[in-house]
Structure 1
């Protein structure tokens, strides 16, 4: 196979020279090319890296001497993180790299998250880490398409166990760089949030209707990481508009669930100046990690075990009022037209009249609070309908059509 793709191999080459060199050799053996980057501070690699630690520090507007003089490893590594991120972005913009793999423990992983976040969607990003999948990694720092592989048994030196992980990772990043189909962006894209069509059905009619208008539609599963990817892409300007119709992750974070898209959920589109339609899909539920004990604060709430990974609690009236205030606080900073589409008959299939999670008083409290705290920059549109009724999708499409006619959205 032709040596057609170049992978950036980054890490602290002073302490992990053997492991990083091993991955570089695997990539080369498969016909790939390698650019090595050293993010060490104190020591030097056995052989010089293509991008030295001094170049990395200089890219951050600093120096290795300054990093050492700081006398603090966290400060020093943040200098190297900033420099490595800038250099990686520059290498990609110049067409010199097609993927990246970073190796590390907690320090290297901290740096890797910044480096990978500097690269756009579609650039393969692999992190081989002793803390892959750890809850210490906040979701808001994960790029939308990052891949993590557990660095098992490799804290100090090569062995048969860690070679299995390192070789898989090296092959994976090269294979991904060869196979990836980067987003073409030849049609304007609309980002939408939802859950499966058992509970929320609007995307079944909205997606083909929007595609018929010339848009590409990406639907994100709002279960923590889906919302994080949605926010990341909105911040990049990947969308022409968003239909953020399932805000449950806002409540998850508000009420302390580990299933969180981070504190910035429902802010990126507004900050970017993207027109948005927001609604109430599953606003009344908070998802919890199914194998964690039920928190005491939810002891009196109705509870449903969705599967072994996921459980849900139904919010009471006052909790729903808090949810309404949180949503409007987030939307208050939006810089483009924002419509809050409020279906007065409910926000998921289970809360219909006679449904297993119906709570008419709770819904009424939420509606009342939305009316009271609706931000001045938000247009409140109330519908005599349920979120899964055709009238809801029709109303959302009417707003999109008005935006197209008025030039707020491009004619695709």
Structure 2
């Protein structure tokens, strides 16, 4: 029987001692939607009024300890961290044995802390749905968000089951069962090249590069660097899913340095290098710092050029010293790489609106960045300067030439033959 023919098994995780009503309701809704609930209890002190398939003792054992030792820790944060380790370890074991097809985790701040670890433990393509009282909150750091995580706000979910809760919980149950029926985990029929970009209007090199790389037998995955896009790139690079990374939009590095909420986390531009993946890097849009359009311009940037992209996202540019700081950070991060590294440095500009006649044109600050970047090229990296803008054909041609040279030298896995790639 194929997955589409049998009832998908949904791992349902929560503290059964305090959330029994909600969890039993969710189990019923999963069954009604055509799924099969597999209960995992992550309670510490109490016991649920039902018998879960995987009780708190099994969760503790998966963490290499006992529930008694966890309870005796005397600290709820320490206790839940241990349960999170056990739950994520056990969830991955269940998936690898083919016993679950998706996961649905329920919680407030404590349960969400655990839920994020469980979701990260499951591979890309396995439906993972978190029902949380803090969904979409800035309390959730980007580095803890799985690349394909789904969340829904648990409205009215602080204490007790009610009609508002049922409206939310029932949606989550139907969503995860449906996702488990239709999910198609990635199949690597061609080597995958990751590329970063900041939309098509700001950075447009992918328009030329993607078809050229596909002709060479690669699948190209482009990540939108507005915080979570860079987070997904980092997460998948850490799992060694890419044959090469063309990281040409590093604006999230500048965002993080300047305290923007549009961040991918402190480890942006590090995962590919630490995994030994060949990476070709360019400083696309490092001159801009993002913030929500609906908030005031940050005080430290009040006198800087401003660009409103839409009603959600706006940007200001940094001056010479701010750009030197970004160059130093890029150099420090690339110095930790264990694989091949090259830096493409377009001397004519690094995003669409910094060209002459555009609102963010600032040749003095660009010159400061270029100067500092040249100083900061680490010993393990190759520097290629390009007399042109990052959106020019000269830049794309240089990137392709370097990529082809690395393939010929055996640094990058060759692309799949045309017939194999066409069948993918």
| TM-score (norm. length: structure 1) | 0.98
User: After superposition, what is the alpha-carbon deviation per residue over 1:250-307, rounded to whole angstroms, capped at 9, x for unaligned?
Assistant: 0000000011000000000000000001001111111112222222211221122222
- Output one character per residue of 1:123-176: Cα deviation in whole Å (capped at 9) or x when no partner: 000000111111111111000100001111122222111101000000000000
Q: Which 10-residue stretch deviates more, 151-160 or 271-280? A: 151-160
Q: How does 1:145-224 map to 2 (within 5 A)?
A: 145-224=148-227
Residue ranges of structure 2 left out of the alignment (5+ in a row): 416-424
Q: Distance in 2 between matches of 1:34 and 1:147?
A: 18
Report the alpha carbon displacement of residue 224 of structure 1 after superposing the two structures with TM.
0.3
Moved more, 369-378 or 38-47: 369-378
The answer to whether structure 1 residue 401 and structure 2 residue 404 are counterparts is: yes
**Aligned equivalents of 1:14 and 1:263: distance in 2?**
36
1:60-103 deviations in Å (ceiling 9; x for gaps)? 01111111111000000001000000000111111111100000
Number of positions where the alignment pairs a residue of Structure 1 with one of Structure 2: 412
1:220 and 1:276 mapped to 2: Cα distance?
A: 15
- Cα deviation, 1:23-82, whole Å, max 9, x if unaligned, reads 111111222112110000000010111001011011101111111111000000001000
Q: CA deviation at 1:385?
A: 1.1
Q: Which residue matches 2:313? A: 310
| Structure 2 Cα separation of the partners of residues 257 and 280 of structure 1 | 18
Structure 2 residue aligned with 1:143: 146
Contact kept, 8 Å, 2:157 with 2:165, in 1: the verdict is yes
**Does 2:76 match 1:73?**
yes
Q: Which runs of 5+ in 1 are unaligned?
A: none
Q: Tell me, yes or no, if the aligned pair for 1:2 and 1:32 is still in contact at 8 Å.
A: no
Match of 1:350 in 2: 353
CA drift of 1:2 comes to 4.6
CA RMSD of aligned residues (A): 1.0
For residue 273 of structure 1, the aligned residue among 267, 272, 276 is: 276
How far did residue 117 of structure 1 move? Answer: 0.3
Deviations 1:323-361 (Å, cap 9, x if unpaired)? 100111111100011000000100011112222211111
Inter-partner Cα distance in structure 1 for 2:7 and 2:321:
59
**Structure 2 match to 1:33:** 36
Q: For 1:197, what is the secondary structure of its paired residue?
A: helix
Q: Is the CA contact 1:81–1:114 (under 8 Å) kept in the aligned structure 2? A: yes
Q: 2:289 aligns with which of 286, 289, 309?
A: 286
Is 2:21 the partner of 1:8? no
Instruction: Give the distance between the partners of 2:308 and 2:236, measured in 1 at CA.
Output: 31
- Alpha-carbon distance between aligned partners in 2 of 1:404 and 1:128, rounded to the nearest angstrom: 45
Matched-pair contact (CA < 8 Å) for 1:126–1:146: yes
